[in-house]
Each structure stands twice: as C-alpha cells, then as structure tokens.
Amino acid sequence: MAALWQTAGSGVLETCGLERILEALKLLLSPGGSGSSSLQITKHDVLLTTLKSNLSALEDKFLKDPHWKKLKILRDEIANEAEWRQDCMDVTWRFTSQTLLLLLCLKETMIRLAVEFNPGKPNPRTPEAAPALSPDTLSISQQKTVQSVLQFVVTLGVCPYLMPGVGVPVRYRTEFGAVVQDVVCLGAAPSAPRRLYTSCKVLLNVAQHASLGSLIFCRHFGDIAAGLCQLGFCPTKRKPLNPEEEVLTEDERALSRKALRDILDQVYQPLAVRELLILQGGPPQSCTDGKTQVMCRAPAWLRRLCGQLLSERLMRPSGVQAVVRGILEGAGAGAAGGSDAEATAADWKKCDLIAKILASCPQQSLSPEDYYRDICPQILDLFHFQDKLTGLQFQRVATTTFIAMSRERPQLAAKYLLQPVLAPLHRCSNTAEVSECDMVPGTILVTEEELSRCIEDVYKVYVVGNEPLTVLVDSLLPVLGVLFSLYCFTKHSVSHIRSLCQEILLWMLGKLERKKAITSLQGFAGLDKTVPSLHSLCHFRAATQGGIMITIKEAVCDEDEDEALYQKVSSEQCQVEHLGDLLSHCQECGLAGDFFIFCLKELTHMAVENEAELKTKPFSSESLLELEQHQTLLVEGPERKLLVLQLTAVLCERMSEQIFTNITQVVDFVAATLQRACASLAHQAESTVESQTLSMSMGLVAVMLGGAIQLKSSEFAILKQLLPLLEKVSNTYPDPVIQELAVDLRITISTHGAFSTEAVSVAAQSTLNKKDPEGKREEQQQTSYERYSNVSYNHLEQQRSHCTSNQTSLTPNAPLVPQEVREPSITTNQKSGSITTEQLQEALLSAYDPQIPTRAAALRTLSRWIEQREPKALEMQEKLLKIFLENLEHEDTFIYLSAIQGVALLSDVYPEKILPGLLAQYDGGKDKHTLETRMKVGEILMRIVRALGDMVSKYREPLIHTFLRGARDPDSAHRASSLSNLGELCQRLDFMLGSVVHEVTACLIAVAKTDHEAEVRRAAVHVIVLLLRGLSQKATEVLRDVLKDLYHLLKHVVRLEPDDVAKLHAQLALEELDEIMRNFLFPPQKLEKKIMVLP
C-alpha cells in the first residue's frame, strides 16, 4: 500500500472523508425498487435485478457526481493494486468485489485520518471537558452500516463457497441465505476457491484496523475461520498437471494456514474455542420423519484439524479457562456469570463433557505426565474465582474434572492435583520433616489464606464431588488427624471453616472401610499413636482476617511447665468431647456403635490386665534407653486407661438410644458386657453394679428372643456367638437366678427359639415393663450407681457399661433394668382403675426395697398411679405421702427425685391437705430439718406452683409469706431458693399481686443491694426478670406504683454490681422493661372497621 499512498497523493485522501465512503456503501445496500426495507426477498430475479441496479447507480455516481471524484480515484488505485479479478459474469461476485474495494477504501482512509490527527493541548481551566475525538471513530449508525456490509460480504463472498460440512450452511441460517445459495453462479470465473480466498484475504486485511477488526471478528469469525480451514487444509483430489490448472498455489495455502493460526491467537480465546467446536460438529444425525433437513457432518480432515487446534488452545497459558468459558458460554449461558450461569453450572452433562475433554491427553502432548504438569495448576485455579456465578460454574467443572482425572490416571492425579491441594496439611503433620529454618518459634508454617483455600478446595472435591475413589481416600487419610485438630480448634470460636471441616470428616469416616475408620477414630482420641496427627511443634492460632494459621509453638519456660501441662490435659479432654460431638452425627451409618463397642472391649481388656505384675516385676538393665522405655510404658499404661474411661463416659452421655443399627452390634455389645463380667469374676471383683449390668445384658437378649423383634436364621447364627460366654456365666456366676437364665438363653438360642422356658419370657416382660415416663432414667441410674461404685477401674468400667446398656435398648423409651428387680408387674398402658390390691401392696413393699433401682421404680409406679387418679392409690394418700417424704431423705438422686415427683403429683390432687405441711417443713429451722431436705421441699413447692397455674392465687398468702421469710434465712442457699420460688409465684399471680407488690419490691431491693452472697443477689434480680416476663403488657398496671423503684434498682445493679451474672440478669430485665414501655407508648396500629348502630 505504500505505492498507493504515493500515487494517490495526500490531497485525495484529505478530501475523501468517511461520510462519502459510507454513503457509497449505503447505496450498494439500498433496496432499489422492491419497496421493502430489506433485501431478504424470495424471488431470485428480483434479487439479481436489485444488485445490478445498485451497481449501476454506484457507477453513475462515480461518473456524474463531481463530489465522488476523489473516492473514485482512490477506489481505482486500490483496484489496480488488487490481485483478484473483478469483472465477472456473476453479478453476486461483482457486487462482492465492489463492496470489498469500498471496505479497503474505508480502512485506508481511517488509517490516514488517525495519522494526521493532532489533538491540541487540554485547557487546564476546563479539565472536565471531554478530549477531542479521533476523526477515524465511527458513530453508532456508521457501525451499523459497516455491519450490514460485512454481513453481505460474508453471505455472498464466503458462505456460498464452503464445502458441505464445513461451517454452518447459509441456507439453514435465514431465508435470504437460501436465496443467495441458489443465485450464486459457481461456474463463472473466477473459480469458487479463488473467490473464497479473495474474500477471506480482503476481510483479514480490513480487520487489521482495530475498530473494523472488532466488527468483523465479533460476528463473522466462525465463517472466516471455516474458509481458512478449507483453503489451507482441505486435501486436493489430484495433483494439477500444470500451474495454470492449479486453483490455489501452495504459497497461498500456506498463507491461509498461517492466517488461521494468527487470528486464533488474536481473538478472544473462548470465542475461538466455541467456533472451533461448532466447526468440528457433533456426531452423525439421523432423520426419522423424512421431512427435516439434516446438516452434513463435518469431513474427517476438518474434525481432526479442529481437534488439533482445540488441543493447542488448551495447552496455551490460561487455556483451561478459555476452553471452559468457550463451552459454557456456547451452551446458552451467555457470558460466564450471566443470567443463565447458575442453570448452566447445575447441568452436570456439560460439566462431564468438559471433564472428559480436559482429562484426555491430546496427541500434541509429549506424554501424559507433561500434560498433567501443565494443566493441573490451571484446573486448581478454577476453584478460586471470586465472582459467585462464575465461580459456581468453574468450581463445578473443576470438581468434575478433578474426579475424572483421578479416575483415569490416579497416580498422576495424586502427584499434580492432590499433593498441591493437601500440601498445607502435610506441612504440619507429625510425619513431615520441619526444616531448621522453620523451627524458630512464631514462624508461620501455613498462612491464613493457604489454610482456608486448602479446606475449601478439599470440601469441593471430596464432599461436593462425592466420589469415594481410592486415590482420593488414600490421599486424605494421612492428614485426617490434622484436619480433626483443626476442627477441634474451630469449636472454640467462630470460624467459617468449622462446618467444612466437620463435613469433610463425616464424609471420610463414612467412606472409609470400617476397620480404617475405627483406627482413625483411635488416632483422634489419642489411643493410637501411629496414626498421623498434628506435629508436636505446631499449633493453630487465630489470624488477623478472621481465619486460622499454623505456627511454631513458643518455647516453654520452667515457670510455665504447670500451665503447659494444664493446657495439654485440657486440650486432650476437649478433643474427646469434640470426638463425641462428631460421632453423634455417625449413628445412622453404624460407625458410632462400632466405636462404642471397641471402647467396651478396651474396658474388658483393662479389666483382665494385671497392673501389679507390671509394677512389681524387677527390672534390671544398664541401658538408659531401655530404662526410659520402661518408664514411658509405666506412664502410658494408666494414661491410656484414663483416656478410654473418659471416652466411654463421653459416648454414654452424647449418644442416643439409636446408636446400634443392626443386631450384630447389639450382640457385640452384649458379648463385651458378658466378657467383662466373666473377667471380673476371674479377678473376684464381683459387685452389685456388676450383677445389675449382667442382668440387664441378659435381659436384652431375652427381649430379642421373646419376640420384640422378628429374628431370622442368619440372625440366630449371630446370636450363637454368645453361647460360649453364656455357658461360662452359667458355670461360674454365684447367683443361681443368673445361672438359670444363662442356661435357658443358651437353650433358646441353640433351638432358634423353638424351645423357650418361662424364665426367658418373664425376663423379657420384666425388662419391657421398666419404662421411664419422663425420660430421665438414664441420668438418675448413672448417679445412683456412682454411689455404689469405688474408684477402681473395674467398677468404673461397669458403671459406664451399665449406663450404655440403658441407652442402647432395642425398644425406644423402654430402658433395660435388672431381671431380678421386683417391681410390680404392671404395664405402662394400663387404664385407670385396672390395678389390684395385690399390685398396690407389691408396689408399697418395693418402695422399701434396699436395691436402688427397685425402690426408684416402685416410687415412679406409685407416682404414675396418682397421676392417673387411680382410686385405690388415692385412698391411701396419707401412707403414700409418708413413703414419699421418707424417701425424700435418701441421698441418691434417683430416689429423692422420684419422691419429689410423687409429692408434687399428690399435692396437685389434695393441695389443701398437703401444702400447709410442706410450707411448715420448708419454713422450719436447721434444728428441725437439714438444709438438703429443705431444698428438696423447695423443689416440690416450685413444681406445685407450676402445676396449679392460675389456681395458685387461692394459696397466695401462705406461699408469699413463707418465701419472704425464707429470703431472710441465715443460710444463703435457702435464701436463693426462696427467691427463686417467689419469682415463679409472682410470674403467675398477675393482678392478684397488687396488694403485696410493695412488700415484694422492698424485699427484692434490700436483698439486691445488701446481701453478701452473689448467688442470692442473682436470684433477687432474676425475680424481677420473671416478674416482668410474666406480666408483660400488664406490668404498667400491676406495677405502676413500684415500676420506677424497680427501674432504679436495675440501673444500680448494672452500674455497681461486681457479679457479672447478676449484671446480665439486670440487663435482661431492662430489655424486658424497655419492650414493655415501647409497646405501651407506641401501641401497634390496627386497621379495624367498627360498625355502630345509631339510636
């Protein structure tokens, strides 16, 4: 073009503006005489006539209009420089040639105008003024004109000359395209390949200008790329005999290939990927109705070429992102993150397609390892997009690709995907070697961002992907201990990764083999030191941005050894508790039950272990290493035993009765209990608790054999595992009842239930009848057995097992109790009036039984009869009251709580007869009743007040006087109890409180300001909270005379009270008062329609 500039002269280009060129282009696009605003007409002759008339009109303008002279000179100069033939019999090609010439004129003019543009210096007085616009800038209307011209050029000069299967046929796009396909004359010179080559070459020349290039590639990149593919890569049928017969020279084909690669590198990469996928086409389509037109499949050479080009796009920097965006944006989601992005991210089919593409190693790659080395970092980057919708798409694709690669090539995936993701956790594991430079205290091993990103990535891959592949599970298993330590740390504060850690741990424990899962849980609890865990030098710390980081611990000074030891013990205890919380979510899968059984077996192993032999065995060795190992063994043994006991206690507390999910676990539980009983007998450590535990275990077996569940033959085979243990019990246990029951159970199991003795049925029925109506049996039995157990390991093990047996009953709400307990043989579903005198006498006798469970069960039975208003029981109210009051003195919580419940229920039936005596007993001094008894009576009075409800106003005077006198008692616990009961009473009196409100207020003010005990002051302030909460909006009426005094008291407590709990109660009371006054001053507006009848 340099020659063109020299021949044309600068004056021509100065006078030939953009407007004249665009006017010429509009003239070519004018509809002519069709009377329509579009050339998309269906008649071929009309289309040809219109094209001819527009070409003639353009030539007339060039010849007759002097204003068009400069443009004509420029066009002629460019035409002379052009290398293609412009005169042709085919009017469509003549039209295309003229249009291409005008586009070249437009490009050259825009370049010249940009070169000559010299904007002046901006005026500093008006800095807000917009800078001068470059003269080569196209307006919106001019851009639309150019876009229309480009559409005509592509439709007439590119699409008709594409081979079948190359690109999308123009006839399938618009009706006008079908017309153009029929009017193009392919037989006229120049040939079709030459026309295609000329159109693509000129368009690429025009596209060198940035503004015009964006207009061309934005809409027509696919057609131009299809043309270049055909020109450069389409195989020729035969070699031409002479150069004249050659349609395109080899140099032109090479230029086409180079141009294709250049524009692929130049354009937006997702656009290139999408267009290449379209060119590559899909699988062959079949037509079933015979009417639908089926597009030709892309030829084999084009499919191979597109696959090669796509692989090159993928291997480029950020190629993975380009491929993902190209497929997702081409799948109907618009730009990534657009309105349909969420729906696209939820489409697993598209994600699977991308995953298969990314997981397949292309042929251009030297080896799969080289491919994975280049691609895997880009796949991991897909997890970390900040935009929510874009990140949602990319994360779904990354997760699916991660799993696909792990499935196809697990070793490479472990090396290039899993190792980078898990590197922060491996860095702080006790199996990792910490370098000396990182041993400095305070050194940050894992930053906050690294740890958060690691946990989030693991969650997306493992939990969201939910594919338990072997390589995934095996890679995460070594750092599971570090992950659990992180989970325990997050439980101490608010952290956004706590739920992620919990979900990952639960997923892994559920997918692991049961044996490996139990081993991992042992490592979490500290029972198995071989399981990898957090490095001893590392610890977690809160970071500045609200996250967590891992640092090297500070060195411990000699003065801080006690504090460090306390922190270590406290940390271990917290870990056991957090492990219990974690296992509470694993009950349905059976893992919690299996681990609980493992703990029971450890207790049995502890029972048979001879500690005395280890301690008294003489040790003779001159080696310091052996001596140190011996001392370590002596320390680790008791430490492990205490840890097992603590773990068992936590599991007993946290697990529900549905901990066992199958009969195998139940049998294992019973077997562990029987083994521990036999071990205790061997060591002559048999006790009451042991006898009761054994009875309950055998009662559980009797329940299963008695018809509580329908047993199958395979389940009887599992029960046969108990036969040797039952035989041992029947031969060695001293109690003849237990021996007989063991023999009968062996017979029933051996005969698969065909023969069952009466003893088995009685034991099963007795077990099922022991039902706790309030669901508190577990806690109370545990406390009662603690009273009867000593500090030895054997007894403590038996207590934990006994508590657990209550939790693991086959029948919900039916805890197991010893078979030999003589409770009245009644069922819980008896109707009122169905008890007999013999049953009542049996219950009364059992209420004096020395065995705690028997006595407590009898008291509960009597309470239930009172609640059901059994006439025979109510006739003996005085005797029942005497029984309950006597058992009120018992020290075991299981007994006295049952007695409290009985007295409260009896007082609800006969309050006039029983309430005065209770008030006198509560108001008596220390010389009459102990403090513990008075406190228990206070609990009874509180339950009576709650049970009476609105009827409590009848007994207002004696109750208030008793509680006010109790507020002046010398004992602080009794004062606090009286105030607590006073609060419960005032909460229910409402307007009946009016006459004594001054006395109550004076008492509360005096106690809150002058009492020396913090718990009494707390109770006084809490009374105000209950009073305001109970009265609610009535407080302004009931307390109108003392409301100001109460407000001043609360403000005094908030300002001057040293106790934080009392301050908290006062703050709560002020909030209640604030809410009451707001509603009083600003009542809610109600839209009501009133109808009034006028007189």
The 10s digit of each residue's pLDDT in 123-150 is 666 666 667 788 888 889 999 999 999 9
Which pLDDT does position 528 carry in this prediction? 84
The answer to whether residue 813 scores a pLDDT higher than 50 is no
The answer to whether residue 778 scores a pLDDT higher than 50 is no
The answer to whether residue 295 scores a pLDDT higher than 80 is no
Q: If you search the block for the tokens 């109690």, which residue do you land on? A: 735
The answer to whether residue 718 scores a pLDDT higher than 50 is yes
Q: What Rg value do the Cα atoms of the chain yield, rounded?
A: 46
Cβ atoms of residues 331 and 397 within 8 Å: no
Helix (H) or strand (E) holding 750: helix 736-750
What's the length of the chain? 1095
The answer to whether residue 775 scores a pLDDT higher than 50 is no
Which pLDDT does position 136 carry in this prediction? 82
The 10s digit of each residue's pLDDT in 896-953 is 888 888 888 877 777 778 788 888 877 775 556 777 778 888 888 888 888 887 777 7
Cβ atoms of residues 983 and 1023 within 8 Å: yes
The answer to whether residue 261 scores a pLDDT higher than 60 is yes
The answer to whether residue 227 scores a pLDDT higher than 80 is yes
**Sheet order of strands, 548-552 included:** 444-446, 548-552, 538-542
C-alpha separations of 860 from 572, 712, 847, 923, 994 in Å: 40, 36, 9, 27, 39
Cβ atoms of residues 359 and 372 within 8 Å: no
Q: Cβ–Cβ contacts within 10 Å for residue 662, how many?
A: 12
The answer to whether residue 811 scores a pLDDT higher than 60 is no
Find the mean pLDDT for residues 674-692.
Answer: 67
Which pLDDT does position 825 carry in this prediction? 39
57-66, 148-157, 390-399, 675-684: the lowest-pLDDT one: 675-684
Supply φ then ψ for residue 541, to 5 degrees. -140, 150
Q: Which two tokens stand for residue 445?
A: 């091993």
Which pLDDT does position 37 carry in this prediction? 43
Which pLDDT does position 241 carry in this prediction? 46
CA 942 – CA 948 distance, rounded (Å): 10
Cβ atoms of residues 328 and 350 within 8 Å: yes
Supply φ then ψ for residue 478, to 5 degrees. -65, -20
- What's the whole-number average pLDDT of the chain? 77
Find the mean pLDDT for residues 367-387.
Answer: 87
Q: Which two tokens stand for residue 330?
A: 């081409």
The answer to whether residue 472 scores a pLDDT higher than 80 is yes
How confident is residue 282, by pLDDT bands cut at 50, 70 and 90?
low
The answer to whether residue 960 scores a pLDDT higher than 50 is yes
The answer to whether residue 767 scores a pLDDT higher than 70 is no
Query: Above pLDDT 90, what percent of the chain?
Result: 13
Which pLDDT does position 633 carry in this prediction? 58
Find the mean pLDDT for residues 698-704.
Answer: 80
Which pLDDT does position 284 carry in this prediction? 64
Find the mean pLDDT for residues 840-861.
Answer: 80
For residues 377 and 809, the model is more confident at 377
DSSP H helical ranges for 383-497: 388-408, 410-413, 419-427, 448-458, 470-476, 480-490
368-372, 549-553, 821-825, 1004-1008: the lowest-pLDDT one: 821-825
Residues 6+ apart with CB under 8 A from 292: none
CA 454 – CA 550 distance, rounded (Å): 13
For residues 820 and 867, the model is more confident at 867
Query: Above pLDDT 70, what percent of the chain?
Result: 80
The answer to whether residue 798 scores a pLDDT higher than 50 is no
Range among 76-80, 222-226, 711-715, 967-971 with highest mean pLDDT value: 222-226
Find the mean pLDDT for residues 1058-1064.
Answer: 85
Q: Which two tokens stand for residue 452?
A: 């958060």
Which pLDDT does position 635 carry in this prediction? 56
Tell me: cis bond preceding 243? Omega within 30 of 0 counts: no
CA 114 – CA 134 distance, rounded (Å): 7
The answer to whether residue 468 scores a pLDDT higher than 70 is yes
Residues 6+ apart with CB under 8 A from 1021: 1008, 1050, 1053, 1062, 1065, 1066, 1069
Find the mean pLDDT for residues 231-249.
Answer: 68
The answer to whether residue 338 scores a pLDDT higher than 60 is no
The answer to whether residue 797 scores a pLDDT higher than 50 is no
CA 948 – CA 989 distance, rounded (Å): 11
CA 860 – CA 828 distance, rounded (Å): 11
